[in-house]
């Protein structure tokens, strides 16, 4: 009996997820005979579900459109998405919809398992509410929106709410992957993308991470004391970082020195230097113009060998300036 009930519920879920199913598709999906499929359809009709049968080569089954809404079967991710949407609606102040929205929310949340309710609570309380706002950018409306797993959103939101350090892999715009240990603060949606604002413990500064570039999240179970910041300040910091990145020129400087030696010379400006062996390190550079980026090279210790890895415009500018310096040194 339990197997029959489970199969019938699976059939209902399939009918709710697709406008029309052929009998053959349903038989293959459920692993039953056509006779068993017909019996399961009749069971659903007895429970009050209007299911229309169609004959012929394109025949099959579909739920009828009706005036009543039968009970819905939702996956975990669907339940989270609907509940978060209803909570946002309930707090949006839409005139005349307060009672129905809260009523629907109560019906959804009372049947969700505790673990899912925790994810919803975390998402609602630790994601800023101005979805879709943000700095306008040319072509932003035509770019595909990166897909974000709800599981990832839930993990990061729980880390923000519970003040728990997280460790994850992050892939930057250049395709380079690094391991980060952060103290997550807020999830911020801007311009159809999700960002995590967090305190990066290795760099000892605030950092903004695009969620579609985060992977392999590990919950450390280590708690931290959150740094004070308002939601408006968090959004402003993320939007500022995005604007800066949109006009930023980037390069990597590979220096034949240990990380300790270079950081000792650069001080605060060497906070992003990473070791690449005992006697070599990498200094990532960012600037709003090629000229400003190249000026940073003058901070490198004299006599230290280095090479620059970056886009063609940076390398071309270096070659041009090398010729001008050589000509200036040779002139009277």
pTM for the structure as a whole: 0.44
- Burial category of 163 from C-beta neighbours within 10 Å (exposed 0-12, middle 13-18, buried 19 and up): middle
Domain count, the chain: 4
- Token look-up 């034949």 returns 256
Question: Can you tell me the distance from the alpha carbon of 125 to that of 259, in angstroms, rounded to the nearest whole number?
Answer: 40
Question: Can you tell me the distance from the alpha carbon of 166 to that of 184, in angstroms, rounded to the nearest whole number?
Answer: 7
Domain extent at residue 273: 249-330
Per DSSP, 146 falls in state: P
Six-digit token pair at 284?
């990532």
pLDDT of residue 305: 94
220 and 274 share one domain: no
133 vs 299: which has the higher pLDDT: 299
Instruction: List, for residues 102-124, the tens digit of each pLDDT value.
Output: 556 556 665 566 777 777 767 66
Model confidence band, residue 68 (pLDDT cutoffs 50, 70, 90): very low
Instruction: List, for residues 284-302, the tens digit of each pLDDT value.
Output: 988 777 888 888 899 999 8
Instruction: List, for residues 29-54, the tens digit of each pLDDT value.
Output: 888 988 898 888 888 888 777 888 87
172-177-180-186 Cα dihedral, nearest 10 degrees: 30
281 and 205 share one domain: no
Question: Can you tell me the distance from the alpha carbon of 268 to that of 84, in angstroms, rounded to the nearest whole number?
Answer: 41
Domain boundary among 226, 246, 266: 246
Helical segments of the chain, H only: 2-17, 23-30, 34-46, 76-90, 98-110, 114-125, 150-162, 231-246, 259-266, 290-295, 312-330
272 and 308 share one domain: yes
* Nearest CA-CA partner of 202 in 263, 259, 269, 274: 274
255 and 240 share one domain: no
Per DSSP, 226 falls in state: P
Question: Can you tell me the distance from the alpha carbon of 36 to that of 307, in angstroms, rounded to the nearest whole number?
Answer: 71
137-143-147-153 Cα dihedral, nearest 10 degrees: 0
* φ, ψ of residue 250 in degrees (nearest 5): -125, 150
230 and 292 share one domain: no
Within 10 angstroms of residue 30's Cβ, the number of other Cβ atoms is 16
Six-digit token pair at 268?
């605060």
State the Rg of the chain over Cα. 28
Model confidence band, residue 275 (pLDDT cutoffs 50, 70, 90): very high
158 and 215 share one domain: yes
Identify whether 142 is part of a domain.
no
């Amino acid at each position: 009996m339990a197997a029959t009930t489970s199969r019938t519920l699976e059939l209902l879920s399939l009918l709710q997820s697709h406008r029309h199913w052929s009998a053959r598709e349903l038989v293959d999906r459920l692993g039953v005979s056509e006779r068993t499929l017909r019996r399961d359809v009749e069971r659903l009709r007895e429970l009050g579900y209007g299911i229309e049968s169609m004959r012929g080569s394109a025949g099959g089954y579909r739920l009828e459109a009706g005036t009543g809404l039968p009970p819905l079967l939702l996956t975990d991710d669907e339940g989270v998405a609907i509940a978060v949407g209803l909570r946002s609606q309930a707090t949006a102040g839409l005139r005349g919809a307060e009672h129905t929205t809260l009523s629907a929310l109560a019906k959804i949340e009372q049947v969700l398992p505790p673990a899912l309710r925790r994810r919803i609570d975390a998402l609602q309380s630790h994601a800023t509410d101005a979805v879709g706002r943000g700095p306008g950018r040319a072509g932003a409306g035509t770019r595909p929106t990166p897909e974000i797993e709800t599981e990832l959103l839930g993990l990061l939101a729980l880390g923000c709410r519970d003040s728990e350090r997280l460790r994850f892999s992050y892939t930057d715009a250049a395709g380079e992957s690094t391991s980060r240990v952060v103290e997550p603060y807020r999830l911020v949606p801007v311009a159809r993308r999700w960002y995590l604002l967090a305190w990066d413990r290795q760099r000892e500064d605030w950092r903004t991470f695009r969620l579609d570039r985060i992977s392999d999240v590990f919950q450390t179970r280590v708690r931290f004391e959150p740094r004070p910041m308002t939601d408006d300040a968090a959004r402003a910091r993320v939007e500022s970082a995005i604007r800066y990145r949109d006009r930023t020129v980037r390069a990597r400087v590979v220096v034949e020195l240990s990380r300790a030696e270079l950081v000792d010379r650069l001080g605060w400006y060497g906070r992003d230097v990473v070791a690449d062996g005992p006697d070599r390190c990498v200094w990532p550079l960012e600037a709003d113009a090629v000229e400003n980026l190249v000026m940073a090279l003058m901070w490198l210790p004299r006599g230290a060998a280095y090479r620059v890895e970056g886009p063609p415009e940076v390398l071309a500018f270096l070659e041009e300036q090398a010729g001008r310096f050589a000509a200036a040194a040779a002139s009277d």
